[in-house]
Amino acid sequence: MKDELFAIASRVREALRGIADSDTAGDAVGKGVDGAPSYRADMIADRAASEALDSLSLKLNVLSEESPYVDRGAEQTLVIDPLDGSHNFIQGIPFYAVSLAVGSKSLSGMMYAMVMNVVTGDVFYAEKGRGAFLNDKPIRVRKYDEKSSMFLVYMGSNASLNSYDIARKTSRARSLGSASLEMCYVAHGVADLFYMRCSDNNYALRIVDIAASSLILREAGGEVYDMTGNIFDMKLDISDRKSLLAVGDKNLRRLAI
């Protein structure tokens, strides 16, 4: 499955690199299946992923941010965000990714995961029970050290006030704009946590945003929690939205409560 996911991600990367400097990449061209605005860049990425999947003849159902659910009668589903970090891409900020996961039933049922950094080409990959990797080298989370801590925290008009409290608990806080990549940074031991808690649940995360990065983080030794401190899970449903705390050191679970 790794080669197939890489082929899909590579096709999307090629398509996005072709329009990276286009003035029309941010043109609104409709709405995604959950009602959120879709931009030209999103649709081009989604089309490239669909074409790549068809060319590989993979029998997988497809749950995407941009297209209606495709039921092919398969046991497993490809959960895809073809462009995680759309606003970064449109604004020319070099931090966005392709997120791909394959599994069944729910987030906890994901078996394979890949997040490709479109800008650098770096590839995070995990297979359930077999560890997590960056460019084929094993990665692990790091132990929390307050003095050298780095928190990645979603901040903006829809962020809960709790988000600012979390940001004050570290000397270094960043909000980078791509949940899948930010969680992979936690998996890689570059950061200690990723926190996204919204005051309006309509802006919280969907399974397409974090299906891949959740498995990668867990295989690297970290964990994902909901806002009550329970192990995080989601349905294979694009309308399901939740806030989360993703940590490297599980002792940081206390920040979810």
Where do the DSSP E strands lie in the chain? Answer: 28-31, 37-39, 61-64, 77-84, 97-103, 110-117, 123-127, 132-134, 137-138, 151-153, 173-174, 193-196, 223-225, 244-247
Domain check: are 115 and 162 in the same one? no
Domain check: are 134 and 167 in the same one? no
CB-CB contact of 45 with 83 (8 Å): yes
Domain check: are 122 and 214 in the same one? no
Domain check: are 103 and 162 in the same one? no
Domain check: are 128 and 153 in the same one? no
Find the CATH number of the domain harbouring 240.
3.40.190.80
Domain check: are 17 and 130 in the same one? yes
pLDDT in tens, the chain (257 residues): 999 999 999 999 999 988 877 777 767 666 665 566 678 899 999 999 999 999 998 889 999 977 778 999 999 999 999 999 999 999 999 999 999 999 999 999 999 999 999 999 999 999 999 999 999 999 999 999 999 999 999 998 899 999 999 999 998 999 999 999 999 999 999 999 999 999 999 999 999 999 999 999 999 999 999 999 999 999 999 989 999 999 999 999 999 87
Domain check: are 115 and 153 in the same one? no
DSSP state of 234: -
* Residue 210 to residue 178: CA distance in whole angstroms: 10
Q: 225: buried, middle or exposed (CB in 10 Å: 19+, 13-18, 0-12)?
A: buried
What is the domain count for the chain? Answer: 2
Q: Could you tell me the residue range of the domain that residue 228 belongs to?
A: 146-256
Domain check: are 127 and 177 in the same one? no
